[in-house]
Chain A
Amino acid sequence: RQNAHAQRIFSAKKMASRKEGTGSAATSSSSTTGPAGKGKGKGGSGDSAVKQVQIDGLVVLKIIKHYQEEGQGTEVVQGVLLGLVVEDRLEITNCFPFPQHTEDDADFDEVQYQMEMMRSLRHVNIDHLHVGWYQSTYYGSFVTRALLDSQFSYQHAIEESVVLIYDPIKTAQGSLSLKAYRLTPKLMEVCKEKDFSPEALKKGNITFEHMFEEVPIVIKNSHLINVLMWELEKKSAVADKHELLSLASSNHLGKNLQLLMDRVDEMSQDIVKYNTYMRNTSKQQQQKHQYQQRRQQENMQRQSRGEPPLPEEDLSKLFKPPQPPARMDSLLIAGQINTYCQNIKEFTAQNLGKLFMAQALQEYNN
Chain B
Amino acid sequence: MATPATPASAPAATPAPAPAPAATAAPASVPAPAPTPASAPAPAPAPAPVPAPAPAPASSSDSATAPATTAAPGQTPASTPAPAQTPAQSLPGPALPGPFPGGRVVRLHPVILASIVDSYERRNEGAARVIGTLLGTVDKHSVEVTNCFSVPHNESEDEVAVDMEFAKNMYELHKKVSPNELILGWYATGHDITEHSVLIHEYYSREAPNPIHLTVDTSLQNGRMSIKAYVSTLMGVPGRTMGVMFTPLTVKYAYYDTERIGVDLIMKTCFSPNRVIGLSSDLQQVGGASARIQDALSTVLQYAEDVLSGKVSADNTVGRFLMSLVNQVPKIVPDDFETMLNSNINDLLMVTYLANLTQSQIALNEKLVNL
Contacts and interface: CB of A to CB of B under 8 A. Distances in A.
Contacts of A168: 258
Nearest to A168: B258
A244 B285 contact: yes
Given A99-B177, A126-B122, A219 B276 contact: yes
Contacts of A340: 355
B275 A223 contact: yes
B178 A70 contact: yes
A216 B281 CA distance: 12
A58 B169 contact: no
A175 B351 contact: no
Contact of B111 (A65, A172, A257): A65
A257 to B, nearest CB: 7
Contact of A94 (B118, B178, B332): B118
A14 interface: no
Nearest to A60: B262
Interface in B279-303: 279-280, 282-283, 285-286, 289-290, 292-293
B318 to A, nearest CB: 16
Instruction: Kindly name the residue among B226, B258, B354 whose own CB sees the greatest number of chain A CB atoms within 10 A.
Output: B258
B111 A30 contact: no
A239 B283 CA distance: 20
A207 B267 contact: no
A229 B253 contact: no
B341 A359 contact: yes
Instruction: Kindly name the residue among A69, A70, A93 whose own CB sees the greatest number of chain B CB atoms within 10 A.
Output: A69
Nearest to A207: B366
B177 A29 contact: no
Nearest to B176: A99
A337 B362 contact: yes
A223 B365 CA distance: 51
A98 B177 contact: yes
A349 to B, nearest CB: 6
Nearest to B167: A120
Interface string A235-267: 110010111110101100100010010001001
A236 B253 contact: yes
B269 A29 contact: no
A352 B347 CA distance: 10
Given A64-B262, A271-B365, A54 B276 contact: yes
A57 B269 contact: yes
B215 to A, nearest CB: 13
A30 B279 CA distance: 19
A284 B16 CA distance: 100
A233 B110 CA distance: 11
B266 A229 contact: yes
B278 A216 contact: yes
Interface residues of A, number: 105
B26 interface: no
Nearest to A176: B265
Interface in B330-369: 332, 334, 337, 341, 344-345, 347-349, 351-352, 354-356, 358-359, 362-363, 365-366, 369
A354 B146 contact: no
A208 B286 contact: no
Contact of B122 (A125, A221, A233): A125
Interface string A29-52: 110000000000000000000000
SS class, residues of chain A in contact with chain B: helix
A355 B275 contact: no
Instruction: Kindly name the residue among A93, A229, A352 whose own CB sees the greatest number of chain B CB atoms within 10 A.
Output: A229
B118 A30 contact: yes
Given A61-B259, A344-B355, A355-B348, A334 B365 contact: yes
Contacts of B279: 175-176, 178, 217-219
B173 A244 contact: no
A346 interface: yes
Interface in A169-193: 171-172, 174-176, 178
Contact of B263 (A54, A216, A232, A264): A232
Given A175-B285, A355-B348, A228 B362 contact: no
Given A231-B227, A245-B289, A220 B177 contact: no
A26 to B, nearest CB: 10
Contacts of B130: 124
A29 B286 contact: no
A69 B178 contact: yes
Interface string A90-112: 00011001110000000010000
A27 interface: yes
A352 B121 CA distance: 45
Nearest to A335: B362
Interface of B: 109-111, 113-115, 117-125, 130, 146-147, 149-152, 163, 166, 169-170, 173, 176-178, 218, 220, 224-227, 253, 255-267, 269-270, 275-280, 282-283, 285-286, 289-290, 292-293, 332, 334, 337, 341, 344-345, 347-349, 351-352, 354-356, 358-359, 362-363, 365-366, 369-370
8 contacts: A65-B259, A124-B151, A222-B118, A229-B267, A232-B253, A244-B285, A348-B351, A355-B344
Given A239-B255, A241-B260, A334-B362, 20 more contacts: A30-B118, A62-B111, A64-B111, A65-B146, A94-B118, A113-B173, A174-B285, A175-B261, A175-B285, A216-B278, A218-B278, A220-B276, A221-B270, A225-B117, A229-B269, A340-B355, A341-B358, A344-B351, A344-B352, A362-B341
Interface of A: 24, 27-30, 54, 56-58, 60-62, 64-70, 93-94, 97-99, 108, 113, 116-117, 120, 123-126, 168, 171-172, 174-176, 178, 198, 202, 207-209, 216-233, 235-236, 239, 241-245, 247, 249-250, 253, 257, 260, 264, 267, 271, 274, 327, 330, 334, 337-338, 340-341, 344-355, 357-359, 362, 366
In the A-B complex, the 9 residue pairs with the smallest Cβ-Cβ separation, listed nearest first, are A57-B266, A61-B111, A341-B355, A125-B122, A244-B289, A175-B285, A99-B176, A58-B114, A348-B348
